[in-house]
């Protein structure tokens, strides 16, 4: 179903009020049967909609970004496409500096080929594209910097997130957000695309290991919050070439989740078990093992039970 078909239904339901199928059909100039089809489609995407003899109503609030409000506060071209394959894919193909937001990614991508899909209105999903006058080889610590930046920005908003190396955000033992950086370029110039997904509301059918903004923030998410994150992240990317490695290590340690924890690392040439000891100047995770210090630049890290 095309976004132009389901988006008006979602926009009317987002007001939070109970609305009958006939009233909703009158507003949209469609039949009650057409309304039912669109509601069922949205429910199939994971949107939690209650249906009674009196009409339809969302089971909890959702977030629908207002593009004009966000654009007025962001020094970067911002666009909103209700449904895309992947915001990172679209921005990479455009090669244009921009921020692309969406309500639904039908082929959302996370790290190491994992999928990131959330129902419309339940997560903040966007990608930021920025050109840098440096080569890909000079950006080894960028994923750490943007992870730290997003964590600190959310802390400023009152969200007690911590950074789980390399670029997942967690609250206690539950994942709140994920970042994916993709690079295109050569030795002199690089197009950086940063995509992230931030859970705003619990997602039905997803295991209990996920967290959401609604769990910890005693208010609804706003367009000002979104604009604040976009500005912080794009500035972090632009400032990266001038950042000293010492500052990267210091800032990481201030928000790190894993420091001092016994962890296991998989997805590398061989599995590692040891104590996480922070990062080096390149953003590699230091693991203190029985055989000494090991440094890993990629892999899946899990905290071992105490």
* Average confidence (pLDDT) over 142-171: 96
Report pTM: 0.90
Same domain, 141 and 7: no
Low-confidence winner among 31-35, 117-121, 131-135, 281-285 (lowest mean pLDDT): 117-121
- What's 134's domain CATH number? 3.30.930.10
CATH number of domain containing 45: 1.10.10.10
**CATH number of the domain that 287 lies in?**
2.30.30.100
Are residues 235 and 102 part of one domain?
A: yes
Same domain, 171 and 264: no
Residues 126 and 246 in one domain: yes
Task: Check whether residue 213 and residue 273 sit in a common domain.
Answer: no
DSSP label at residue 112: G
Nearest by Cα to 108 from 118, 120, 117: 117
For residues 155 and 213, membership in a common domain is answered with yes
**Of 139-143, 197-201, 279-283, 297-301, minimum mean pLDDT range:** 297-301
Identify the pLDDT of residue 298: 82
Quick one: 127 and 225 in the same domain?
A: yes
Q: Give the model's pLDDT for residue 209.
A: 78
Structural domain harbouring 12: 3-58
Strands (E), 54-119: 55-58, 78-84, 98-105
Domain tally for the chain? 3
If asked whether residues 24 and 153 sit together in one domain, one would say no
166/19 same-domain check: no
Q: How far apart are CA 298 and CA 113, in angstroms?
A: 13
Residues 24 and 141 occupy one common structural domain: no
Are 46 and 74 members of one domain? no
Q: 82 and 32, same structural domain?
A: no
Domain end position, chosen among 233, 252, 271: 252
Residue 72: per-residue pLDDT? 97
**pLDDT tens-digit series, residues 35-53:** 999 999 999 998 999 999 8
283 dihedral zone (left: phi>0; alpha: psi -120 to 50; beta): left
- Look at residues 146, 215, 144 and name the one whose alpha carbon lies nearest to residue 174: 215
């Amino acid at each position: 179903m095309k976004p132009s078909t389901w988006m008006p239904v979602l926009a009317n339901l987002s007001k939070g009020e109970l609305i009958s199928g006939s009233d909703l059909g009158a507003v949209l100039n469609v039949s009650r049967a057409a309304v039912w089809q669109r509601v069922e489609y949205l429910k199939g995407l994971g949107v939690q909609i209650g249906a009674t003899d009196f009409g339809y109503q969302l089971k909890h609030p959702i977030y629908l970004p207002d593009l004009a409000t966000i654009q007025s506060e962001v020094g970067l071209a911002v666009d909103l496409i209700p449904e895309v394959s992947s915001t990172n894919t679209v921005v990479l193909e455009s090669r244009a500096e921009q921020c692309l937001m969406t309500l639904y990614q039908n082929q959302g991508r996370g790290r190491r080929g994992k999928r990131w899909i959330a129902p419309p209105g339940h997560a903040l999903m966007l990608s930021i594209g920025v050109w840098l006058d440096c080569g890909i080889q000079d950006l080894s610590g960028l994923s750490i910097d943007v992870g730290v930046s997003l964590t600190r920005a959310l802390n400023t908003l009152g969200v007690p997130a911590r950074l789980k190396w390399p670029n997942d955000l967690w609250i206690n033992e539950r994942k709140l957000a994920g970042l994916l950086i993709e690079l295109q370029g050569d030795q002199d110039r690089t197009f950086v695309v940063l995509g992230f997904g931030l859970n705003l509301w619990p997602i039905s059918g997803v295991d209990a290991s996920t967290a959401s903004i609604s769990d910890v923030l005693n208010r609804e998410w706003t367009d000002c919050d979104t604009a604040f994150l976009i500005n912080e992240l794009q500035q972090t990317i632009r400032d990266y070439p001038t950042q000293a490695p010492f500052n990267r290590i210091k800032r990481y340690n201030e928000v790190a989740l894993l420091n001092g924890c016994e962890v296991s690392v998989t997805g590398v040439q061989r599995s590692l078990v040891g104590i996480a000891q922070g990062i080096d100047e390149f953003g590699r995770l230091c693991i203190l093992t029985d055989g000494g210090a090991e440094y890993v630049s990629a892999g899946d890290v899990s905290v071992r039970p105490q």
